[in-house]
């Protein structure tokens, strides 16, 4: 491949990665959920190398968006640091599983997880959990309740079902290491549905967590030789730029629109991944 072709390919990948980072930061998905299908379906890259590049980009997304969310006061740092224990252990296990699982099956699993995430995110329930709700005993012990900025000032919320959330985070970690997606979809839903965090708190705390989860899995991929610097670099730079833009847009968007964006992107990618896996294109 000529130098001009390599440069053009890098620019195309970087542009697609910027869009992935934008969507990932606004929905809490981490960008990897768009990166893996884009690289495998759009550029014909082996799914294992795509996952390796995705994990590197997920670390960049977390670094870029998470700092902005913490500064704005949306992220629940106590919840994020506690749940990172489960996701990190799961990510190491999931990364090891990629060496024994057929790539086509990885694509099918990817699609099924995303379809369920899209469906669950649109199930009707309130977006705000105000002070009238009671928090769980473990949440009180760990002082996980918090506030986040609202149109009329800070809004308080309570955290519930810590054990259920911890277990779901372990599953999210396995999926992160296996699929290279940061498992933001599962993390957001675990915090939003099980632990009853407001949706914006869930998405921002997910972004805070995914970097640590991805780093745990990326170490295994690096040792296996599935991280190609020439591919990972434009992906990382594009996702980082997109995540910084997405972090600014998220604070201005209503939670309902974020849910619709989350579900729409995830559903389209899920169908594409399942179809191409079943037809042998991955």
Tens-binned pLDDT, residue by residue, of the chain (282 aa): 566 677 888 899 989 888 887 877 776 665 666 787 788 878 888 888 888 888 887 776 666 667 777 888 888 888 888 988 888 888 888 878 877 777 678 778 778 877 876 776 676 544 444 444 455 677 778 888 888 887 778 888 888 888 888 988 888 788 777 766 656 667 777 787 778 888 888 878 887 887 777 777 777 778 878 888 889 899 988 888 887 787 778 767 776 777 787 778 778 777 877 887 788 765
Task: Please state, in angstroms and rounded to a whole number, the distance separating the CA atoms of residues 112 and 260.
Answer: 18
Task: Please state, in angstroms and rounded to a whole number, the distance separating the CA atoms of residues 208 and 217.
Answer: 16
Task: Please state, in angstroms and rounded to a whole number, the distance separating the CA atoms of residues 182 and 42.
Answer: 20
Give the relative orientation of helices 47-72 and 162-179 as an angle to the nearest 10 degrees: 140
Other C-beta atoms within 10 Å of 229: how many?
9
The strand pairing partners of 134, in sequence order, are: none
Distance in Å from the first CA to the final CA of the chain: 23
Read off the tokens for 260.
Answer: 């619709």
The strand pairing partners of 147, in sequence order, are: 156
Tell which residue, 54, 80, 55, has the closest CA to residue 66. 80
Tens digit of each residue's pLDDT (9 = 90 or more) over 259-276: 787 778 778 777 877 887
Task: Please state, in angstroms and rounded to a whole number, the distance separating the CA atoms of residues 98 and 30.
Answer: 20
């Amino acid at each position: 491949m000529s130098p001009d072709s390599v440069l053009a390919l890098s620019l195309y990948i970087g542009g697609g990665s910027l869009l992935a980072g934008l969507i990932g930061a606004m929905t809490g998905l981490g960008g990897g959920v768009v990166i893996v299908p884009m690289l495998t379906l759009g550029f014909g890259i082996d799914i294992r190398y795509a996952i390796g590049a995705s994990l590197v980009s997920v670390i960049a997304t977390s670094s870029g968006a998470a700092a902005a969310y913490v500064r704005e006061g949306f992220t629940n740092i106590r919840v994020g640091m506690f749940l990172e224990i489960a996701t990190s252990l799961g990510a190491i296990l999931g990364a090891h599983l990629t060496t024994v699982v057929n790539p086509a099956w990885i694509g099918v699993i990817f699609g099924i997880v995303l379809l369920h995430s899209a469906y669950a995110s649109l199930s009707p329930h309130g977006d705000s959990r105000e002070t009238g709700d009671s928090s769980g005993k473990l949440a009180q012990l760990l002082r996980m309740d918090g506030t986040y900025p609202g149109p009329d000032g800070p809004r308080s919320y309570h955290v519930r079902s810590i054990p259920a959330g911890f277990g779901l985070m372990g599953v999210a970690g396995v999926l992160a290491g296996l699929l290279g997606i940061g498992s933001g979809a599962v993390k957001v839903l675990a915090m939003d549905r099980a632990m009853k965090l407001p949706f914006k708190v869930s998405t921002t705390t997910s972004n805070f967590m995914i970097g640590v989860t991805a780093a745990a899995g990326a170490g295994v991929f690096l040792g296996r030789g599935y991280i190609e610097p020439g591919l990972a670099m434009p992906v990382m730079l594009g996702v980082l730029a997109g995540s910084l833009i997405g972090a600014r847009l998220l604070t201005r968007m209503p939670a309902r629109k974020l849910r619709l964006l989350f579900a729409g992107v995830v559903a389209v990618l899920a169908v594409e991944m399942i179809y191409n896996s079943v037809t042998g294109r991955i």
